[in-house]
């Protein structure tokens, strides 16, 4: 970790905490509480959990005589850290009307005041500084999750309310171009002094065959061709589990696509819009991405290929892109120490890696070595398709 001054850490901490509140500002109180599906957490839970992280990981162990804001919050707002004690079931986070949104905002202020007090005491504890930086990045992760969850919450309403009123320009049709990767041995993983998660380490060598990555994402128009060619009805295009998922859930189009009078519309954070054929297709499962790639005569890239592509191309990520790589530890991987050892490693099973970031990813949060991951059936996140060929 690059050494940051206390003033720089406090500035970053305050800015990130305020950004989370700004994300929630367009909501009404009722929006903060609901949980339409188990994967989606109520926004007030995100506000509290990110605060719990700073309280439990920093204030409780490092600030003498610190008194928790509420003794029940460790149960309610611990996400999955078994070492920190029992936690409320994720699928039941929407059952609770209390604590109120107002009380949670008071909780945020209480913890922020004590974090600043701890930092201003002048003790340069490297462990505290690392945990603070981790907590800042953790909250930035939840800022992206908040936007994903808010979109699903609003999209569940019959009236399809708008999160923000913004005029969106139509996307331009892009020329199809390919980026070449030469055969060879490449360094993969985080190797700089700056912050990284444990799953980006250690930097290691990986052999890649010659390949090409398409520079542009798959568009709505291209995906519509897949639908109109009855792609969802052709078992030979789908993985076995994917074919079961399509039929068990009656999937016929990407999430948030709505068909009206022979035309497709898409629900966005800016409300319901007529489908923009040149915009990247979004909210795609791994199963759909894989089936489309096979239908188009291509394949999904590996996460190593996308890391090389991003490091050379510097293309701004609009959507997280599925890779064909299972989420597994790098050679020599080590968990963070202590309770935060549960941060990433325990999820390295039955999930696939996504790369590239998205428009909801905070600008100073993403790195080209960043490894996002989800189960193959999920698609409420901002996910899309980038294809590769040998």
pLDDT at 183: 98
At 253 the pLDDT is 98
Q: Report d(CA 196, CA 137) in Å as an integer.
A: 9
User: What contacts 24+ positions apart, CB below 8 Å, involve 161-169?
Assistant: 161/271, 162/269, 162/270, 162/271, 163/26, 163/269, 163/270, 164/26, 164/269, 164/270, 165/270, 165/271, 166/270, 168/268, 168/270, 168/273, 168/276
Least confident segment among 10-24, 127-141, 306-320 = 306-320
Say whether 382 sits in a helix, a strand or coil.
coil
Token pair belonging to 362:
């905070």
**181 DSSP β-pair partners:** 211
Written as six digits, the tokens of 240 are 């076995």
| CB atoms near residue 377 (< 10 Å) | 17
Residue 78 has phi, psi (to 5 degrees) of -70, 130
Per the DSSP assignment, residues forming a β-bridge with 260 are 263
Q: HSE of 67 in the Cβ direction (CA atoms, 13 Å)?
A: 0
Q: Is 366 helix (H, G, I), strand (E, B) or coil?
A: coil
155 Cβ contact list (under 8 Å, min separation 6): 256, 267
Nearest in space to 20 (alpha carbons), one of 52, 51, 57: 51
Residues 6+ apart with CB under 8 A from 158: none
Contacts of 63 (CB under 8 A, 6+ apart): 114, 117, 118
Share of the chain above pLDDT 70, in %: 98
**What length does the chain have?**
390
Asked whether the beta carbons of 12 and 139 are under 8 A apart, the reply is no
For 54-80, the pLDDT digits (tens) are 999 999 999 999 999 999 999 999 999
Contact, 334 vs 51, CB < 8 A?
A: no
What would the DSSP string read from start to end of 153-187?
HHHHSTT---S---PPPPPPPPPP-EEEE-SEEEE
d(CA 292, CA 384): 11
Q: Give the CA radius of gyration of the chain.
A: 22
Domain 178-389 annotated CATH 3.40.50.10470: no
Contacts of 381 (CB under 8 A, 6+ apart): 148, 283, 320, 354, 374
Q: Where are the domains of the chain?
A: 6-156, 178-389
Average the pLDDT over 221-230 and give the result.
98
Lowest mean pLDDT, pick from 167-176, 246-255, 322-331, 339-348: 167-176
Q: Residue 378, Cβ neighbours under 10 Å: how many? A: 18
* The two three-digit tokens of residue 26, written as one number: 């367009």
pLDDT (0 to 100) of residue 1: 40
pTM across the whole model: 0.96
Query: Is the model's pLDDT at 163 over the cut of 60?
Result: yes
User: 3-class DSSP state for residue 96?
Assistant: coil
Helix %, strand %, coil % of the chain (to 5): 40, 15, 45
The mean pLDDT value of the chain amounts to 95
pLDDT in the model for residue 123: 65
**CA 347, chain centre distance (Å):** 14
Confidence of residue 3 (pLDDT cuts 50, 70, 90): low
* Count of helix runs (H) and strand runs (E) in the chain: 10, 12
pLDDT, residue 307, reads 97
Query: Phi/psi zone of residue 357: left (φ > 0), alpha (ψ -120 to 50 degrees), beta?
Result: left
Q: Is 216 helix (H, G, I), strand (E, B) or coil?
A: coil
**Quick one: pLDDT band at residue 324, thresholds 50, 70, 90?**
very high
Q: Are 317 and 356 in contact (CB under 8 A)?
A: yes
């Amino acid at each position: 970790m690059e050494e940051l001054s206390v003033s720089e850490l406090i500035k970053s901490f305050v800015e990130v905490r305020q950004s989370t509140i700004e994300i929630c500002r367009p909501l009404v109180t009722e929006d903060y509480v609901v949980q339409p599906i188990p994967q989606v957490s109520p926004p007030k839970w995100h506000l509290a959990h990110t605060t719990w992280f700073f309280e439990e990981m920093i204030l409780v162990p490092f600030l003498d005589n610190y008194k928790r804001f509420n003794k029940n919050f460790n149960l309610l707002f611990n996400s999955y850290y078994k070492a920190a004690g029992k936690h409320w079931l994720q699928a039941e986070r929407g059952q609770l009307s209390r604590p109120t949104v107002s009380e949670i905002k008071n909780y945020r202020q209480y913890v922020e005041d004590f974090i600043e007090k701890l930092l201003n005491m002048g003790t340069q504890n490297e462990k505290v500084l690392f945990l603070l930086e981790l907590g800042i990045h953790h909250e930035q992760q939840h800022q992206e999750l908040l936007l994903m969850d808010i979109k699903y919450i609003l999209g569940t309403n019959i009236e399809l309310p708008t999160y923000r009123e913004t005029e969106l320009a139509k996307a331009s049709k892009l020329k199809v171009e390919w980026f070449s990767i030469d055969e060879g041995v490449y360094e993969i993983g985080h190797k700089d002094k700056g912050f990284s998660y444990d799953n980006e380490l250690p930097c290691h060598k990986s052999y890649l065959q010659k390949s090409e990555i398409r520079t542009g994402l798959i568009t709505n128009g291209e995906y519509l061709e897949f639908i109109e060619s009855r792609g969802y009805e052709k078992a030979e295009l789908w993985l076995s589990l994917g074919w079961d998922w399509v039929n068990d859930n009656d999937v016929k189009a990407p999430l948030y696509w709505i068909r009206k009078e022979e035309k497709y519309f898409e629900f966005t954070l800016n409300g319901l819009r007529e489908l923009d054929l040149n915009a990247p297709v979004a909210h795609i499962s791994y199963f759909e991405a894989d089936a489309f790639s096979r239908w188009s005569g291509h394949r999904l890239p590996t996460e190593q290929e996308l890391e090389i592509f991003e490091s050379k191309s510097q293309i701004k990520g609009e959507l997280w892109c599925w890779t064909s790589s299972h989420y597994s530890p790098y050679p020599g991987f080590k968990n963070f120490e202590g309770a935060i050892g549960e941060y990433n490693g325990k999820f390295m099973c039955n999930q696939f890696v996504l790369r590239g970031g998205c428009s909801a990813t905070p600008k100073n949060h993403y790195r080209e070595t960043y490894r996002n991951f989800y189960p193959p059936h999920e698609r409420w996140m901002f996910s899309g398709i980038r294809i590769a060929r040998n």
